[in-house]
Structure 1
Amino acid sequence: MVLTACNSSNGDKTTVDRSSGPLSEQSFHWTASPGIDLASGPAVPIRAYFESRLDGQTMGSLDYAYPGFDQAVAKKPQEGHDLLTSNLRPDVNRGPVNDPPVGTNRFMIQSVARTDDALIADLCFYRYRLAHENENGSFSSVAEAFATDDGIDVFRLLLTAPPNAGMSLPPQTGPAPAPAPAPIDNVFGDWKITGLLDSFAKSDPKFGGLWPTYDSDLAKCVADAPDPAERRVVLASGQHPRSDFPTSPPSPGWPLPTKVTV
């Protein structure tokens, strides 16, 4: 099935087929701390950003990012080094990922806090739920490659809200039981994504000042993991059947398209 968007809000027509290939083997499952609505407010551009970033990286092309991504997400400067934007966009110059993982990308929005001129969102990514296929047909978690990797990451995302943030986007969620895996319209609205921090930036001398609570935020992600510690250890090591790394239906997903071409 090809999802076709007519008259998308950024003027683009989306005809990306996600029913086959690497993207059909992955899905996105989102949860959030109490008080954070996944279908409205900042959670919508947050979801759209991370899903776009991963899909674009997997396929090696921003064509697979969601409508509005290019306008919403800051570019790194042509000269000098900016810690907040250096890893903000996917590095599509590398081309498609040779061995894309399968399974469910599980994210949790841990907190969203407002500063003077921006919003800061801290997120957990439970990467151990993704796996690569082995030559014998079994599957091993992406966390197995390094002994010290437990497959749990924490991200800090910086956003700028539009003047009327509450009115800038309609509610964005998909109907049960089969929501769309990706939006067909611009779900960034007038939100701007201005910065990203993750563990790869820890060695930068500016990191601590920008994210002084990194260690405690990562510990919260570990404590809030969807699986008990014993199960995480099992999943993150050894060889498994594909069923241990299911591609779950997207949650909450996105509104179904108004026009479907089969």
Structure 2
Amino acid sequence: MESYYLAINANALSAAYPGFDEAVPQRNRADFDHPVDPTERRYVGTQFQHLMWMTKTERGWFATICTGDYSVMEVGQDGKFYNVGSKYVNAETVEVIAPNDVSATSAKSSGPERAPIINVFDGWMLAEHVKGARDQNAYAECDSRMPDARDARPQKANLPHDTPYPTLAPYPGWPRYDEN
């Protein structure tokens, strides 16, 4: 999910994590490098994502993930900061297909870094990504899993701010690969 949002927001497949282009079949890709609106944008702040649950399938895993973009801002041409998110959260679903040799994918998956520098997909493939949940209860549960209550989330969409919302440290982050 992180790679997907990086590619979408940067309008470039190259902005995603290493291996994303191989993990997402062409038929499942948005046209990352040829967007409808090719405007270059800069974002600051924090997008929250929370893994709700995972279910084992015959081919791999099915997961429901909460996404909260209420603390993401775009840097305007005037140097001001504009909220691009919503106080509401979304529940998204993905299905991933496991590689033939799952034991080969045992690298550390947390640490102090903002992004990985190695292929973290390592043979895993995306089968499906839906910007919605199959289980409608996920929406209410997602709302309660965000670090900020709905009434404490930013309310002023598209109004200029002199300072951005904070960009939080990555959690759980990515390992320093020289430690592996």
TM range (shorter): 0.7 to 0.9
Secondary structure at the residue paired with 1:247?
Answer: coil
- Cα deviation, residue 130, structure 1: 0.4
Question: Structure 1 stretches of 5 or more lacking a match?
Answer: 1-49, 77-84, 144-148, 200-210
- What is the TM-score with the length of structure 1 in the denominator? 0.59
Secondary structure at the residue paired with 1:221?
Answer: helix
Residue 148 of structure 2 corresponds to residue 197 of structure 1: no
Residue 147 of structure 2 corresponds to residue 226 of structure 1: yes
Q: CA RMSD in A?
A: 2.6
**8 Å Cα contact 2:87-2:155 kept in structure 1:** no
Question: Structure 2 stretches of 5 or more lacking a match?
Answer: none
Residue pairs, 1:46-195, within 5 angstroms: 50-76=1-27, 85=28, 88-89=29-30, 91-94=32-35, 97-134=39-76, 137-143=79-85, 149-174=86-111, 179-195=112-128
**8 Å Cα contact 2:7-2:13 kept in structure 1:** yes
Q: How far, CA to CA, are the matches of 2:39 and 2:51 in structure 1?
A: 26
**8 Å Cα contact 1:57-1:96 kept in structure 2:** no
| Pair member with larger Rg | 1
Would you say how many aligned residue pairs link Structure 1 and Structure 2?
177
- What is the TM-score with the length of structure 2 in the denominator? 0.82
Secondary structure at the residue paired with 2:46?
Answer: strand
Letter in 1 for 2:109: Q
Structure (1 or 2) with the greater strand fraction:
2
Q: How big is each residue's C-alpha offset from its partner over 1:66-105, in whole Å with a ceiling of 9 and x where there is no partner?
A: 22222211221xxxxxxxx3xx445221275533321112
**8 Å Cα contact 2:70-2:154 kept in structure 1:** no
Structure (1 or 2) with the greater helix fraction:
1
